[in-house]
Amino acid sequence: MSVSYKVGTVKSKQSPNVNTQPKAPVVKGVKTTGKKKDEEEGIDTADGEEWMQGKTLVKPPDQLDLTEEELKEEITRVLTANNPNAPQNVVRYSFKEGCYKTIVFVDQMAIHFELEGNLVHKESDEGRRLMAKHTEREDCGGDERLENVPIKPGKREQKVTNQFNFIDRASQTLNNLPREISCQTEPPPRANFSATANQWEIYDFYVEELQRREKSKEKQESQFPNKEEDRSKKKMIQAEAQSDDISQLAKPAEIIERMVNQNIFDEVAQDFMYFEDAADEFRGEKGTLLPLWKFQYDKAKGLSVTALCWNHIYSDLFAVGLGSYEFTQQERGMLLFYTLKNPSFPEFIFNTDSGVMCVDIHEQLSYLVAVGLYDGCVSVYDLRKKSDQPMYNSIASSGKHTGAVWQVKWQKDDLDSNHNFFSVSTDGRVVSWTLVKHEIVFTDIIKLPPVDKVPDDLKNVVATAGTSLDFHKQKDHHFLVGTEAGKIHKGSKYYSSKFLEMYDAHFMTVSCVRWNPFHPNVFISCGWDWMVKIWDHTINSPVFTFELKSSVTDVAWSPHSSTVFAAVTADGKVHVFDLSINKYEALCQQKVVSKKTRLLHIEFNPVHPIIIVGDDRGRVISLKLSPNLRKKPKEKKGQELPKGPEVEIAKMEQLLSSLR
């Protein structure tokens, strides 16, 4: 810290007797003239002192000869507080700016002499205390004495100082004052209770408690429970009554399990939240996918991922359907629910007698899950119940499909507020299923038309297999159905005699067809003929066509942009497109699995910039999109960019208008 000083001036008046000018050799008259000048100037010559007598002024041989004017001239000297030896080029590192900066203010103080003393003024408080203490010691006498000094009778012994211990040290400290903190509370209410108990009273109390538990569980059940479920629940209640109530430990154990997994996968969680690939700045338009968590269940080995679906309310929870696409390997299936908070073990596990082929979670009631099986059954599971059995299950008498169910989709409740969903199967039927009381009721909406190559006498026997189904996001009565013959049919729930439109889409089986979540006229399709096509439903020809050099098993639109979609192929690659940036090729083509492993399904997370992909070995891999794959227009200063579905619709409409 710099200290400012006043610059002062010192004037020195040179006199003839100073050794700064040449003088003539000393003679007898010199002394008298010098005395007169000293008397005139008021200088005390101290004639009576001996040390001044007999001294003579010696003139050095190289002394200058000055005139009277030069001698009387006043010389002004300016004294400053700046240290001439202080460095002027000191630099320090600035952590704020991240570089070395020159120090402007330098310490100018120079210490010529420093001495730390222990003298105390005798009239001060400390001096008086020390003098009083010293006199007390003298009065009391000392233990240390000189052996050779005799003690005179009648006189007090004088304390002799110790020549080896002659320093007194003392220190003063401040003791903290004790503090007390107290509070006053109202005493808890008390009551006296006394009773006598015997074995019969204890038995009656347990019986009443069991009945109370049974009634409370019955209230929590659905309004129309199954008889089989009632029997199983009664058995479970009896088993719980006989054994200890371990269910109380389930919640703490789940929390501890998630804490352990968070510590194990801490680096992955940090990448999921904060990592942004800085190398995208040098890739131009291209982007990458960052692998995050991998999900695999040991008991699901040998099964393939046949369906993926995110929960729309809990964005970290997703469902995985496990089964097999091979006709000769149909044994069992599983329905698993994973969360990003615990990638090591599923949250829910449901075993099925047949392979699971499709899954859909209700958007509003996230605990209702519709499942389509390979044997033609459709089931509805309730995640609130602990039972492994479905809440609703179709049978032959209730309109069960005769072939594998390839797609199920929840729809809005009907006029009677009954939940319903649609399904499409290999038997060519599009069926509506309604949950009414304790049963599931079916309604045939439409049947797929036979292929032209089939003879007329076999058209009623050979059915056209439906492989994919999707409903319009704004007009929910319109739907699209992809077929095994490569056709796409557009139909309506209110018009069941025939389809509204037919698109000659692919040369081989249509793997997936999906409406755009923003633009009402656009949908996308993919097939085993290596093609991904984007359509305007008012035109019979595709607007965009992309060849991915391998069978395309699934495709999905991004929920954040109307022009972004991703597809997976049988060679293990993930392809990400953004039509607003590049209309001709993918921004990212990345292989995420090992050789001889096929990717089967892909889904975008509804909130976070991640995707999940499933392969034919029962594994699910989560991937994070790099910044180039989720670009947004830059905001200008003082202007807010418009947001909402209208902006995405306009972006896609501008893209379509450039091609028309």
pLDDT the model gives residue 137: 85
Q: Is the pLDDT of residue 423 over 90?
A: yes
Name the more confident of 240 and 43: 240
Paired strand residues for 354: none
Tens of pLDDT, residues 313-343: 998 999 999 998 887 777 888 999 999 988 8
pLDDT the model gives residue 459: 62
Q: Is the pLDDT of residue 242 over 60?
A: no
Q: Is the pLDDT of residue 523 over 60?
A: yes
Residue 63 backbone phi and psi in degrees, to 5: -75, 140
Paired strand residues for 601: 614
Residues 6 or more apart in contact with residue 631 via CB below 8 angstroms: 578, 581
What 3-state DSSP class applies to 130?
Answer: helix
- Lowest mean pLDDT of 32-46, 225-239, 402-416, 624-638, name the range: 32-46
Average pLDDT, the chain: 81
Q: What angle is formed at CA 349 by the lines to CA 348 and CA 351, rounded to 5 degrees?
A: 155
Residues 6 or more apart in contact with residue 317 via CB below 8 angstroms: 310, 311, 337, 338, 339, 347, 366
Helix (H) or strand (E) holding 317: strand 317-323
How is residue 495 annotated by DSSP? B
What 3-state DSSP class applies to 605?
Answer: coil
Q: Is the pLDDT of residue 20 over 50?
A: no
C-alpha distances in angstroms, 161 versus 169, 332, 533, 650? 16, 104, 110, 103
Domains of the chain, start order: 290-632 (2.130.10.10)
What 3-state DSSP class applies to 537?
Answer: coil
Average pLDDT over residues 73-85: 84
pLDDT the model gives residue 1: 39
Asked if residues 293 and 343 have their Cβ atoms less than 8 Å apart, the reply is yes
What 3-state DSSP class applies to 513?
Answer: strand
Q: Is the pLDDT of residue 89 over 90?
A: no
Over the range 208-224, which residues count as b (16 or more CB within 10 Å of their CB) and which as e? eeeeeeeeeeeeeeeee
User: pLDDT band at residue 654, thresholds of 50, 70 and 90?
Assistant: confident
Tens of pLDDT, residues 99-146: 999 888 888 888 888 888 888 888 888 889 989 988 888 876 554 444
Tens of pLDDT, residues 362-384: 988 889 999 999 988 999 998 88
Paired strand residues for 602: 613
Q: Is the pLDDT of residue 658 over 60?
A: yes
pLDDT the model gives residue 258: 82
Average pLDDT over residues 284-300: 89
Name the more confident of 80 and 69: 69
Tens of pLDDT, residues 29-78: 444 444 444 455 444 444 445 555 566 778 888 888 888 888 888 988 88
pLDDT the model gives residue 306: 92
pLDDT the model gives residue 555: 94
In the structure encoding, which two tokens stand for residue 395, read together?
A: 């049978």
Alpha carbon distance 462, 453 (integer Å): 11
Strands of 333-339's sheet, edge to edge? Answer: 304-310, 317-323, 333-339, 348-352
Helix (H) or strand (E) holding 351: strand 348-352
pLDDT the model gives residue 160: 61
Helix (H) or strand (E) holding 31: helix 28-41
Alpha carbon distance 80, 75 (integer Å): 16
User: pLDDT band at residue 569, thresholds of 50, 70 and 90?
Assistant: very high
Alpha carbon distance 647, 533 (integer Å): 23
> Tokens 């009631």 — which residue?
365
Name the more confident of 210 and 254: 210
Alpha carbon distance 279, 287 (integer Å): 9
Residue 259 backbone phi and psi in degrees, to 5: -65, -45
In the structure encoding, which two tokens stand for residue 540, read together?
A: 């019979």
pLDDT the model gives residue 10: 38
User: pLDDT band at residue 488, thresholds of 50, 70 and 90?
Assistant: very high
Asked if residues 465 and 481 have their Cβ atoms less than 8 Å apart, the reply is no
Alpha carbon distance 157, 216 (integer Å): 99
pLDDT the model gives residue 640: 64
pLDDT the model gives residue 567: 94
Q: What angle is formed at CA 245 by the lines to CA 244 and CA 246, rounded to 5 degrees?
A: 100
Q: Is the pLDDT of residue 527 over 80?
A: yes
Helices (H) and strands (E) in the chain, counts: 8, 32
Q: Is the pLDDT of residue 303 over 70?
A: yes
Alpha carbon distance 310, 312 (integer Å): 6
pTM (2 d.p.): 0.61
Name the more confident of 436 and 234: 436
- Lowest mean pLDDT of 373-387, 463-477, 605-619, 635-649, name the range: 635-649
Asked if residues 573 and 591 have their Cβ atoms less than 8 Å apart, the reply is yes
Q: Is the dihedral of CA 335, 337, 342, 343 positive or negative?
A: positive
Q: Is the dihedral of CA 528, 533, 535, 541 positive or negative?
A: negative
Name the more confident of 236 and 554: 554
Tens of pLDDT, residues 573-623: 999 999 988 888 899 999 998 888 899 999 999 999 999 999 988 899 999
Burial of 278 (0-12, 13-18, 19+ CB in 10 A): exposed
